Amino acid sequence: MRKSALVQRLEQYATLSAGERDALDWAERRETRVPAGERLLGRGENSDTLYVVQLGWFHAAIRLPTGARQILRFHFPGDLMGTSSIAWAQAVHDFTAVSDAIVSELSKVNLGRIFREQPRLAGLLYAMSAAENVALSDRLTSVGRMDSLQRLSTLILDVLARLRVTAGGVIDSFDFPLTQTDIGDTVGLTKVHVSRTLGKMEDLGLIQRNGKRVRVLDEARMIADTGFVDRYKEIESSWLAPPPT
């Protein structure tokens, strides 16, 4: 069996013991393919399970009564999806595959078991949840207090930073599988304004586009202009005791 993406993620932050790895392997079930564009879980549906992204992108979104949509967050391989619904019996957000994807399930009950038997894993998951919190805070700051160009810059820098974690090297271009409507729903702009602003960013020499591919040309200027901070490089776990042996 392939090593779970969640195990790989956690191993970036701490060395896992065999027992910890086994506990995760045991808890994850039922790998499922999800084709691009398909919704994995809709708001209001019962949710007694979480999902681990093994491959591909997802997004989490809320839909307003008016039909408007806010995309809250993207989920990459190794992310635990659906934690936001853990405190309620029904899902709070929609989860939709942005690209062809594979997930495995981790039931809430099994998560409870991990909390009981593998306290350090629990702590790491807690830290990941806190990191998610900060990512949302950064997006909120961007949407609440920046203009359109800065919002798109932070989005691109953010995606770049997250991809670099798994890519293992420094990348400066990537495939951006979102439509401009999706992008607008992420940063709080209209698709029309997204189109104009991306055009302007190209004119300014900040980025270069080729179909769905985006190349970042002047990362330094984009960072200076937005105050972007890459928070994905590390997470602190020294407050957690070493694992049981």
Partner DNA sequence: CGTCGCGTTGACATTTTTCAAAGTGGGTGG
Partner DNA sequence: CCACCCACTTTGAAAAATGTCAACGCGACG
**Contacting positions for its own copies (CB under 8 A):** 48, 60, 62, 64-66, 68-70, 72-73, 83-89, 92-93, 107-109, 111-113, 115-116, 119-120, 122-123, 125-134, 136-141, 143-146, 185, 187-188, 227, 231, 234-237, 239-241
Is 198 a binding residue for DNA by CB under 7 A? The answer is yes
Binding mask 211-240 for DNA (x = CB under 7 A): x-----------------------------
Q: Which long-range contacts does 235-240 make (Cβ < 8 Å, 24+ apart)?
A: 235/13, 235/127, 235/128, 235/131, 236/127, 237/13, 237/14, 237/123, 237/124, 237/127, 239/123, 240/14, 240/119, 240/120, 240/123, 240/124
Q: Which contiguous run of DSSP H or E holds residue 104? A: strand 101-107
Nearest to DNA of 107, 195 (CB atom): 195
Is 193 a binding residue for DNA by CB under 7 A? The answer is yes
| Choice from 108, 113, 191, 231 touching DNA (CB under 7 A) | 191
| Choice from 83, 99, 166, 180 touching DNA (CB under 7 A) | 180
CB-facing half-sphere around the CA of 119: CA atoms within 13 A = 7
Nearest to its own copies of 144, 211 (CB atom): 144
Residues 6+ apart with CB under 8 A from 70: 61, 62, 64, 185, 186, 188
Q: CB of residue 60 vs its own copies: minimum separation in angstroms?
A: 8
Contact between 25 and 71 under an 8 Å Cβ cutoff? The reply is no
In the complex, the residues that contact DNA under the rule CB under 7 A are 147-149, 179-181, 184, 188-193, 195-199, 209, 211
